[in-house]
Chains A and B, each alone.
Chain A
Amino acid sequence: MSSESQNILQVILSDGQPEESLDPKLSETELKRIYRAMTLTRAFDIKSLSLQRQGRIGFYAPAAGQEAAQIGSTCALREDDWVLPTYRDAGVAIFRGVPIPLLYAHLLGNSADIMKGRQMPNHWGYRETNFVSIAATIAAHLPVATGIAMGMKYRKEDKVVMALHGDGATSEGDFHSAYNFAGVFKAPVVFICENNGWAISLPSSKQTASHSFAEKAEAYGFGGVRVDGNDVLAVYKASKEAVDRARKGKGPSMVECITYRMGPHSTSDDPNRYRTKEEIEEWKRKDPIERFRSYLENRGIWTKDFGETVSKENDSLIVNSIKEEERVPRPEIRTMFEDVYAEMPWNLKEQMAYEEEEQRGYS
């Protein structure tokens, strides 16, 4: 797959200076909010990986390297818009306002977890901010996103759905169904493809013979653009244009964010088996947070003091949340049987009574 830089939108150049004509000119408040979310996501990521290594949580799928793609895109949404991310999108969860203690409650699977400890880590959902809970099956959320958008259109509302997916997802049938239905019904949905180079061990060059992932959108009758996915302002700019188009009834769009998964696929993965240290080092130099930081510094927004303050706030929020959540007990047995149906049928009541009896026997 081509990696030439032509036609790839960049706003923040490598020296941290913006391409003035392209700068979306976000307010200082908005820029600081993005910086906070990006650094909080990174700190959350590092801490979660270490919790898993210490055996305190079961699993984690890190976001490191993709913060710009996740947060720049989500930043283009209104509060009443909907978002369907993937399990790697901690940045979306954080930017979309899922409280950090709740994120840890979920990673721990304790009784404070909104998902009631039913899903493995990274499978968040938060109805309060229209964040639909996640399935691990790749691309299965994409037709659902299109359907939500069709519902918005049916109700003549000016809301938008954003669905994020990886490069691997583009090979799934559900990618095709979702894009095709979105195109045919002109649904107000924006697809964000986080092309992080790798679907576990498969490089994106072996995922498709297409020149780019963005060009796939053309075949469905709507546009796809390629952006530098480590440039949060470029991601924001392209996403905002796509969201605005959808809101105006002009149908779906796709934004391909070219980025890199700096860590393993998950805590169960060893990327040294399939990619070189040189490649990882090369992308470390393109770290999206450092890129944005240098832009903010050039604009006089980031100072050493500001950076340190944010970092301390992030760390104490994380440390306190973990401390608090590790004290919360496991969910009760009955929660395993609830919410399968609106009302519990006889067989589940019977099985619940059986399990509770078994538990009494053990204690």
Chain B
Amino acid sequence: MPIINIVQAVNQALREEMRRDDRIIVLGEDVGKDGGVFRATEGLYNEFGENRVIDTPLAESGIIGTAIGMAVYGLNPVPEIQFLDFIYPAFDQIVTNLSKLRYRSGGQYSCHLVVRAPYGGGIKGGHYHSQSSEAYFCHTAGLKVVIPSTPYDTKGLLLSSLRDEDPVIFLEPKRIYRAVKGEVPDGEFTVPIGKARIAREGTDVSIFAYGAMLHVAMEGAELATKNGRQVEVVDLRTLVPLDIDAVLDSVRKTGRVIILHEAPKTGGFGAEIAALIAEKAIDYLKGPIIRVAGYDTPFPYTLEEQYMPNAQKVLNAINKIMQY
């Protein structure tokens, strides 16, 4: 089976689905001739032409807003936001139109499209090329939020997203765009939205993670084996709708919970997971739920290594919770 990286998996999913479905239109800044600043849309312009791979003016609200129009009209647009940090001018379009169109029209209209955006830190991007702002979208009813962590899941989840009936915010962990490689079959396969994956089985502690942090969780879990800890790592893959069964199953098994994300701690998605566990499985908990997260600061430049969770912080959290 071919081994490819995450950015290639994005490209492959788009290319294959565009061949199958002429309703798919890619649009965004520099996605055409340039192939996108991360090369996720490389070659699509040459294969599908300027009417299907549209280089747009530099305006995120225009990109998402016009994509919504195309979707309302029955096309299947895939707008790219160059960095998730740039999505805020389009936030009104996402919250006002994209998320609510089905609901507000009483189901007369729907608005399926996939917003793709590279997100997250670890690339020396400072405030405006590093943010992990998934919680805003999780808090908006009507959106699905999907975050893959491997090339296989990237392709399978992107294909599922392209075929979904609801708007999907598809966040790509750019720190590992090229760093993580894996086997990905050519051709069609899907990974279902709303299903988590047990990335590593264990009985002592459950770590819930997604995106680039999944790999940090795996490293931390590996370090903990030296002390004989059996750490389970659950890759959430979809934040909305959350695979609550997978979360609770793991909690019931281990009774110890660490939630890992690089987004700021306060109001981050970890808070939601912690609350759900407290509501539904508190009897199984042997100790407090620990969040290992980014700090409640803007994303820093020089000190980003200190800001971001890493394997050592995860290991320390494991050791701490094992005292219970």
* A-to-B contact residues, CB < 8 Å: 82, 113-116, 118-119, 123, 125-127, 132-133, 135, 137, 140-152, 154, 173-174, 176-178, 180-181, 184-185, 338-343, 345-347
Contacts and interface: CB of A to CB of B under 8 A. Distances in A.
A147 B96 contact: no
A113 B104 CA distance: 11
B106 A341 contact: no
Most buried by B among A119, A123, A147, A345: A147
B190 to A, nearest CB: 16
A115 B57 contact: no
A119 B104 contact: yes
A147 B79 CA distance: 12
Interface in B108-142: 108-110, 141-142
Most central of B103, B106, B108 by chain A CB within 10 Å: B106
B102 A342 contact: yes
B81 interface: no
Nearest to B69: A147
Interface in B65-124: 65-75, 77, 89, 92-93, 96-97, 100-110
Contact of B72 (A123, A148, A184, A185): A148
A339 B102 CA distance: 6
A346 B241 contact: yes
Contacts of A342: 102, 110, 164-166
B282 interface: no
Contacts of B165: 341-343
Interface in B278-300: none
Given A137-B96, A342-B165, A148 B73 contact: yes
B62 interface: yes
B106 A174 contact: no
B194 interface: yes
B56 interface: yes
Contact of B97 (A135, A341, A346): A135
Given A174-B61, A341-B166, A133 B101 contact: yes
A148 B69 contact: yes
B85 to A, nearest CB: 18
A147 B66 contact: yes
Contact of A174 (B71, B92, B144): B92
Nearest to B194: A345
Contacts of A149: 69
B4 interface: no
28 contacts: A114-B105, A114-B108, A125-B108, A135-B97, A135-B104, A140-B92, A140-B93, A143-B61, A143-B68, A143-B69, A144-B65, A144-B97, A146-B62, A147-B69, A148-B72, A174-B93, A177-B61, A178-B62, A181-B56, A181-B57, A181-B59, A181-B62, A338-B107, A339-B106, A341-B144, A341-B241, A343-B165, A347-B244
Contacts of A184: 56-57
B108 A143 contact: no
A147 B73 contact: yes
A144 B73 CA distance: 10
B51 interface: yes
Interface of B: 25, 51, 54, 56-57, 59, 61-62, 64-75, 77, 89, 92-93, 96-97, 100-110, 141-142, 144, 164-166, 194, 240-242, 244
Contact of A143 (B66, B104, B241): B66
Contacts of B62: 143, 146, 177-178, 180-181
B59 A177 contact: yes
Contact of B67 (A116, A147, A178, A343): A147
Contacts of A132: 72, 105, 109
A102 to B, nearest CB: 11
A111 B73 CA distance: 27
Contacts of B240: 345
B100 A135 contact: yes
Which A-B residue pairs are the 10 nearest by beta carbons?
A147-B69, A143-B65, A147-B66, A177-B62, A151-B73, A342-B165, A133-B105, A345-B241, A127-B108, A148-B69
Given A125-B109, A342-B165, 13 more contacts: A116-B107, A135-B96, A140-B93, A142-B65, A143-B61, A174-B93, A181-B59, A181-B62, A339-B102, A341-B144, A342-B110, A342-B164, A345-B241
A183 to B, nearest CB: 9
A143 B72 CA distance: 12
A125 B70 contact: no
Contacts of A141: 97
Of B69, B105, B242, the most chain A CB neighbours within 10 A belong to B69
A184 B58 CA distance: 12
A151 B65 CA distance: 13
A266 to B, nearest CB: 18
A278 to B, nearest CB: 38
Contact of A115 (B61, B92, B105, B242): B105
A126 B54 CA distance: 30
Contacts of A142: 65
A54 B77 CA distance: 46
Contact of B108 (A133, A148, A338, A345): A133
A173 B25 CA distance: 24
Nearest to A144: B69
Nearest to B143: A341
A146 B62 CA distance: 9
A127 B105 CA distance: 9
Given A114-B106, A147-B72, A173-B61, A140 B141 contact: no
A18 to B, nearest CB: 37
A116 B70 contact: no
A338 B104 CA distance: 11
A82 B93 CA distance: 20
A115 B106 contact: yes
A164 to B, nearest CB: 15
Contact of B70 (A123, A148, A173, A180): A148
Given A119-B104, A133-B101, A144-B65, A341 B142 contact: yes
Interface centre among A132, A142, A144, A180 (most CB of B within 10 A): A144
